[in-house]
């Protein structure tokens, strides 16, 4: 198999580096938490390896007995994406649970605060309903 032209290799290297820099900037600005950036950094490193190692994909495909190398890319990429989506669902469920707990806590605290602010209003409200608007 003929080796790839050098230009596309340079492009993919530059592209991957820009992607890495973008991820790094998101972390620095606090828009992406480190634990979620981990997978993207790993992805970028894998891309870097393949951008540098010219016929790595062909060799690995041959090793695994994959006839058509690009299908190996799709297989691994889709698998990785599905894993990440499941991970996001887990994170989402955890968030939802935390929101539920917080909401209940806020509601109860809100009630305690109003009870403290008008301690006699409630007592009177229990005896007669007239003092309430």
Site residues for another protein per CB under 8 A: 99-100, 103-104, 106-108, 110-111, 125-126, 129, 132-133
Which distant-in-sequence residues (6+ apart) come within 8 Å of 115 by Cβ? Answer: 122
Residue 82 or 106 with smaller CB distance to another protein: 106
Closest CB 126 distance from another protein, rounded Å: 7
Q: In the complex with another protein, which residue's Cβ is closer, 6 or 132?
A: 132
State the minimum distance, in angstroms, from the CB of residue 86 to another protein: 16
Judge whether 24 and 35 are in contact, CB under 8 Å: no
The least CB distance from residue 107 to another protein, in Å, is 4
Query: Is 4 or 109 the residue whose CB approaches another protein more closely?
Result: 109
- The smaller minimum CB distance to another protein, of residues 28 and 132, is found at 132
Sign of CA pseudo-dihedral 64, 65, 69, 74: negative
**First CA to last CA distance, the chain:** 85
Sign of torsion over alpha carbons 75, 81, 84, 90: negative
If the CB atoms of residues 34 and 127 are measured against another protein, the closer one turns out to be 127
Shortest distance (Å) from residue 132 CB to another protein: 6
Which residues have a Cβ under 8 Å from the Cβ of 27 and sit 6 or more positions away? Answer: 33, 34, 37
Shortest Å, Cβ 100 to another protein: 5
- Report the candidate in 105, 103, 84, 85 with the shortest Cα–Cα distance to residue 95: 103
């Amino acid at each position: 198999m003929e080796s790839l032209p050098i230009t596309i290799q340079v492009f993919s290297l530059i592209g991957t580096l820009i992607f890495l820099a973008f991820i790094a900037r998101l972390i620095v600005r606090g828009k992406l938490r480190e634990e979620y950036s981990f997978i993207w950094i790993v992805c970028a490193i894998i891309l870097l390896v393949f951008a540098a190692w010219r016929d790595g994909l062909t060799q690995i495909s041959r090793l695994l007995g994959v006839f058509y190398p690009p299908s190996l890319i799709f297989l691994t990429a889709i698998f990785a994406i599905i894993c990440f989506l499941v991970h996001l669902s887990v994170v989402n469920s955890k968030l939802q649970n935390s929101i539920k707990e917080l909401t209940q806590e806020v509601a109860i605290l809100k009630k305690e605060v109003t009870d403290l602010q008008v301690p006699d209003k409630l007592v009177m409200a229990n005896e007669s309903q007239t003092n309430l608007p």
